[in-house]
Structure 1
Amino acid sequence: MTEIRTETHPGFDGQPVAVHRMGAGRPVLLLHGLFSEANTNWIKFGHAAKLVDAGFEAIMPDFRAHGASAKPHDPAAYPPDVLVRDTFALVEELGLDDYDLVGFSLGSRTAARSVIAGLEPRRLVLSGMGLEGLAGWNRRSAFFLDAIARFDEVKHGDPAFMAVAFMKTQKVDRVAAKLLLESVGDTDPADLEKIAMPTLVLCGAQDRDNGDPVKLTEALPDAIHVEIPGTHMGSVTESMLGDELVRFLTA
């Protein structure tokens, strides 16, 4: 397996952000999903390795409040769109100018909002994402905030059971996670027109957790929709996810 190099870089406010890197080719910045981290989304199931084999360098931060990055409990560390601010800081810190940007779920939301705010990757991948997950985030956020609030009382059969089970597996810092969730902004559908670069909307066949990927594809100026097997979380384990990333980014 290609060596994984882990570095620490400052977030927008100096908070330490862990960044995992593989390969030495064209940079592709990969942003993971909520309650996850770089290893679970990109490394564990071989997606980063496929990108490396195709000639890319996979650059995979752990978001603040996740993985090996800082998990501050000070509300001041979570201003609006803090993950977008951290993404801009990382792009500047690493000197990225000709690169691709890939997100999954919360990572897709962050990637889309970063492009709307001015980032200019060559190509963009929004995986695990539909239109309502961007332009309707407040409803999705409320689901997770409720799961955190009822963490100790959620039982099997509760709609929040899988989210709570995943938080337990990931040993999520619930104080930091709550503050982070409250910082994520909703997206005006009209702003999607600013995402002008070629974009891949990549979603599991049984995944509608973040809304309709076809509607998202139609709302973007230059996008294609590709379906792979799996539910929202299941699609991350599918080898086709890595295959489709390589296919799109090498086209």
Structure 2
Amino acid sequence: MTLSTKFYDGFDGARLALHRMGAGRPVILLHGLFSSAEMNWIKFGQADLLVEAGFECLMPDLRAHGHSEAPHDPDAYPDDVLARDLAALVAHLDLSDFDLCGFSLGARTAVRGVIAGVSPRRLVLGGMGLEGLAGWTARGAFFIDAIDRFETIKHGDPAFNAVSFMKTMKVDRAAVRLLLQTFTDTPPTALATITMPTLVVNGDQDRDNGDPAALTETLPNAVQAVVPGTHMSCVTKPDLGLAIRDFLAA
């Protein structure tokens, strides 16, 4: 599959990377925390499955991730900055009929974007449970603590896997720490505004962001799918891409 990468302006003019594959119905794919479009969607073939089904995959690297700019100015990180960048991407591409899919932090960004007015035809929330939205403050504090203790965390520490992944992805910790402070909790009552058909899809061993069944029950028009894997491993298996493909193609 042919992959192209170009840059667009975030809500404040930050230089953000956009990776594109395929032709057809547009679907925006948002990756997870400390990750990238390459790691979540391209490397293990998830985007290929969607392209083969007739979709154009639009895969930004979120601010402070991948090939996108990672500013160290606190003013570059207002509340809900990633949702603002998502709205800027939709406007940049002049999209009016599209689908939206996010994994983990990408799912959270998708939710915040929809609540703020982004209007996809269908929505996919991967690697997410109700507590990952309604109880994000505690989750965010866990990652900020991991960044602050980055040099001293050893095997056996609850934050060891997060730190190992940050090292693998060569994360700009100063920028991501600022980013983590831009998120707020999303109460279940706010989820009532998400009325488009929604798929909640998680690994069968994934409860990193809470209970996906509870999230499915809270959303007005959602179905749940379970695929093999943990929070980290499910993105490496084709089952995730197949579940997303089948839902979006329905």
Quick one: which amino acid aligns to residue 178 of structure 1? R
Aligned counterparts of 2:137 and 2:229: Cα–Cα separation in 1: 25
Quick one: which amino acid aligns to residue 208 of structure 1? R
TM-score (norm 2): 0.99
Quick one: which amino acid aligns to residue 245 of structure 2? V
Deviation at 1:175, TM superposition (A): 0.2
Equivalent residue number for residue 188 of structure 2: 189
Deviation at 1:216, TM superposition (A): 0.1
- Cα deviation, 1:149-198, whole Å, max 9, x if unaligned, reads 00000000000000000000000000000000001121121000000000
Q: 1:216 is paired with a residue of what secondary structure? A: helix
Quick one: which amino acid aligns to residue 113 of structure 1? R
Aligned counterparts of 2:228 and 2:23: Cα–Cα separation in 1: 30
Matched, 1:215 2:214: yes
Quick one: which amino acid aligns to residue 156 of structure 2? G
Aligned counterparts of 2:239 and 2:203: Cα–Cα separation in 1: 10
Matched, 1:160 2:159: yes
Q: 2:32 is paired with a residue of what secondary structure? A: coil
Matched, 1:60 2:59: yes
Q: 2:161 is paired with a residue of what secondary structure? A: helix
Aligned counterparts of 1:177 and 1:13: Cα–Cα separation in 2: 17
- Cα deviation, 1:30-80, whole Å, max 9, x if unaligned, reads 000000000000000101011000000000000010000000000000000
Aligned counterparts of 2:115 and 2:73: Cα–Cα separation in 1: 27
- Cα deviation, 1:209-241, whole Å, max 9, x if unaligned, reads 000000000000000010000010111111101
Matched, 1:121 2:116: no
Aligned counterparts of 2:102 and 2:26: Cα–Cα separation in 1: 14
Q: 2:142 is paired with a residue of what secondary structure? A: helix
1:64-213 alignment to 2 at 5 Å?
64-213=63-212
Equivalent residue number for residue 50 of structure 2: 51
Equivalent residue number for residue 4 of structure 1: 3
Structure 1: which 4+ aligned runs deviate by more than 2 Å? none
Deviation at 1:139, TM superposition (A): 0.6
Quick one: which amino acid aligns to residue 184 of structure 1? F
- Cα deviation, 1:117-164, whole Å, max 9, x if unaligned, reads 111100000000000000000010011000000000000000000000
Specify every segment of 5 or more residues in structure 1 that has no aligned partner in the other structure, as ranges. Answer: none
1:240-251 alignment to 2 at 5 Å?
240-251=239-250
Identity among equivalent pairs (%):
64
TM-score (norm 1): 0.99
Equivalent residue number for residue 232 of structure 1: 231
The Cα RMSD (Å) is 0.5
Aligned counterparts of 2:94 and 2:121: Cα–Cα separation in 1: 15
Quick one: which amino acid aligns to residue 125 of structure 2? L
Q: 1:183 is paired with a residue of what secondary structure? A: coil
Quick one: which amino acid aligns to residue 16 of structure 2? V
Aligned counterparts of 1:201 and 1:59: Cα–Cα separation in 2: 20
Aligned counterparts of 1:250 and 1:222: Cα–Cα separation in 2: 17
